[in-house]
Structure 1
Amino acid sequence: MPNRKGTPLSGTVTARNCPTCGHHEIGLISETGVFHPLKTGTQVLIMDEMEPAQILTPGIKVPATCGTRDAPAQALEGDYWVPEPLKGDRRLRLKYGVIIQKEFGSVPVAEHIYESAYMQKLGYLLEKEAHVPIAAILDRFFVAPHLASGESREIANNMFEELEEISRPVEYVKQWIRKPDEKTLQLLVQPNTMESLEKQPVSEEAALEEQRSLELEDFLELL
């Protein structure tokens, strides 16, 4: 990777949040401590022995063993919760529903408790994914394969911080918790209308099973 003068530049690949706009970026820290962002087309020389990386290109399948989880995900335990007006709509139950740990008690659910449960849900979905590499999924939905770095909790945090589609449901539910009126409910329902809401509630046991059976890609399709 040449510098401005065309001489080779060596260093260590790392990730950071851009100090200007805050987005997540991959780059190289030189021996002098200067960060150089890696861009498409940059030529690099890998000195460490490592497995070949999979190129996420449309039309090319990535082996299922790349970036998948070996250990089975531990099922979420607790009480099911979703904003009351959404209980009859399966699509919205899957999108906004969470499992609240027993230690947090029962309703009313506070904003920070919902966010915590939502992040646990996202981490659980990431841990469950055993067939398709997480990087490939994030590339397909958000063109953001670089977020699939670290353990499931780290990836969930990266997604929440970087992707508005991921954080938006939490913000909408928080608004509804603060002021459960028609305006905040419409935010939860959009792009559909209040009139189109399904009215087919299920038992808490069935709702819990819906959450536990949900797959990552199905969840992302709902956002």
Structure 2
Amino acid sequence: MTPTTRHSHPHELTPLPSGLRVGFWLCIVVAIAVVMRRLLALGHSPSSTEPPDLQRLDQFFRSHASLTYVHIVVALLFVCILPLVYWSRTRLWQPVRTLFYLLGLVVGLTAFGMAAHPVGGVVEGAAVVVFNLLFLFSLLQSFRYWRRGDTIADRRWTLRATAIVLGIATTRPVMGVFFATARLTGWTPHQFFGPAFWIGFTINTVVMELVLRRRARSIE
């Protein structure tokens, strides 16, 4: 049985809740905006009009520019292909799924490299390692069931992997809150990046798991 005939029962996949669909697209938009902003920051000199914390943050990523470029460019491609993984007209295409797994693998491997020099120190590094391992495990399970032709299990693990990787977008509004309250708390990015990563990735992971557990069958 070939990959193009494996997923032969799309009617078994019930629709995602509308709230989750909105969250998916919001995360996609935020993730793309984050990557584009980082690319612009890497390609330009620091601006004196930016807040000092933001200038130091940009300088930190410039000091690891090569790895940062690889990680965020591949992540951008991965995020852009995600809608095709769920669109009914393209979700059965083998090239789409192949790119999904290959790009996801590179994103995961380069994330480990980024975790070696985290802005938020050991707390952020631990969050990256834990959720990256969960992402790669979910990606592997998705690939495994896709190859077996188990449409239901494949979709569940694909959704888990998607939710985890888009956790990076959920961390952004959390970081925004920390940035906005920095004058009150006295926290710097080095101090709040770790908690922000734990909060953002946990939200996505837990929400998706609750949705999956409330459904009797895999969801679209």
Higher relative contact order (CA 8 A, sep 6+): 2
Larger Rg: 1
Quick check: which one's helix share is greater?
2
Quick check: which one's strand share is greater?
1
TM-score higher than 0.5: no
Give TM-score scaled by structure 1 length.
0.26
Give TM-score scaled by structure 2 length.
0.26
